[in-house]
Structure 1
Amino acid sequence: MRKALLLAFTALALTAGPALAKKQLVIVVKGLDNPFFEAINQGCQKWNKENPDSEYECFYTGPASTSDEAGEAQIVQDMLGKADTAAIAISPSNAKLIAQTLKTANPSVPVMTLDADLAKEDAALRKTYLGTDNYLMGKRIGDYMKEAKPDGGKVCSIQGNPGADNILRRAQGWRDSLSGKEGLTELKGEGGWTEVAGCPVFTNDDGAKGVQAMTDILAANPDLAGFGIMGGWPLFGAPQPYRDLFKPIADKIAKNEFVIGAADTIGDEVAIAKEGLVTALVGQRPFEMGYKAPSVMMDLIAGKPVEDPVFTGLDECTKDTVDTCIQK
Structure 2
Amino acid sequence: MRKALLLAAAVLALSAGTALAQKKQLVIVVKGLDNPFFEAINQGCQKWNRENPDSEYECFYTGPASTSDEAGEAQIVQDMLSKPDTAAIAISPSNAKLIAQTLRTANPTIPVMTVDADLAPEDSELRQTYLGTDNYLMGQRIGEYIKKAKPEGGKICLILGNPGADNILRRAQGTRDVLTGQEGLTELNGEGGWTEVAGCPVFTNDDGAKGVQAMTDILAANPDLDAFALEGGWPLFGAPQPYRDLFRPMADRIASNDFVISAADTIGEEVAIAREGLVTALVGQRPFEMGYKAPQVMLDLIAGKPVEDPVYTGLDECTKDTVDTCIQK
TM range, normalised to the smaller chain? over 0.9
Q: Which residue of 1 aligns with 2:109?
A: 108
Instruction: Show the counterpart of 1:81.
Output: 82
Could you say what the CA RMSD is over the residues aligned between the two structures, in angstroms? 1.9
Please give the per-residue CA displacement for 1:144-203, whole angstroms capped at 9, x wherever unaligned: 010011111000000000000000000000000111111111111111110000000000
Partner of 1:33: 34
* One-letter code aligned to 1:19: A
Aligned to 1:262: 263
Aligned counterparts, 1:241-320, within 5 A: 241-320=242-321
How does 1:59-208 map onto structure 2 within 5 Å? 59-208=60-209
Match of 2:49 in 1: 48
Query: Which residue identity is paired with 1:207?
Result: G
Match of 1:77, SS state, is helix
**1:214-238 deviation line (CA, Å, top 9, x unaligned):** 0000000010001000000000000
Counterpart-to-counterpart distance in 1, 2:292 and 2:250: 39
Residue 206 of structure 1 and its aligned partner are, at CA, apart by 0.3
Alignment size in residue pairs: 321
The amino acid of 1:184's aligned partner reads: L
User: Per-residue displacement from partner, 1:92-125 (whole Å, max 9, x unpaired)?
Assistant: 0000000000000000100000000000000000
Deviation at 1:277, TM superposition (A): 0.5
In the alignment, the residues of structure 1 paired with residue 57 and residue 89 of structure 2 have an alpha-carbon distance, to the nearest angstrom, of 12
Q: What residue in structure 1 maps to residue 322 of structure 2?
A: 321
Q: Partners of 1:112 and 1:181 in 2: how far apart?
A: 31
The aligned counterpart of 1:3 is none
SS in 2 for 1:257: coil
Partner of 2:19: 19
| 3-state secondary structure, aligned to 2:67 | coil
Deviation at 1:72, TM superposition (A): 0.1
Report what 1:58 is aligned to: 59
- The runs of 5 or more residues in structure 1 that have no matched partner are 1-5
Amino acid at match of 1:220: A
Q: Distance in 2 between matches of 1:248 and 1:71?
A: 40
The residue identity in structure 2 corresponding to 1:240 is Q
Task: Name the TM-score, length of structure 2 as normaliser.
Answer: 0.95
Question: Matches of 2:232 and 2:25 in 1, distance apart?
Answer: 30
CA shift for structure 1 position 19: 2.6
2-side partners of 1:255 and 1:103: how far apart?
A: 51
Query: What is the alpha-carbon distance in structure 2 between the residues aligned to residue 252 and residue 238 of structure 1?
Result: 21
Look up the equivalent residue of 2:90 and give its one-letter code: A
Give matches, 1:219-258, under 5 Å: 219-258=220-259
Identify if the C-alpha distance between structure 1 residues 84 and 229 changes in structure 2 by more than 3 Å, giving closer, same or farther: same
Which whole-Å CA distance do the structure 1 matches of 2:40 and 2:264 have between them?
Answer: 15
Q: One-letter code of the match for 2:27?
A: V
Structure 1 CA distance for aligned equivalents of residues 310 and 70 of structure 2 = 24
Q: What secondary structure is seen at the aligned counterpart in 1 of 2:306?
A: coil
Residue 153 of structure 1 aligns to which amino acid in structure 2? G
Read off the aligned partner of 2:250 and give its amino acid letter.
I
The alignment partner of 1:224 has SS state of: coil
Contact 2:286 2:314 in 1 (8 A): yes
Does structure 1 retain, via aligned residues, the 8 Å contact 2:267–2:328? no
Moved over 4 A (4+): none
Residues 271 and 328, structure 2, Cα contact 8 Å, conserved in 1 = no
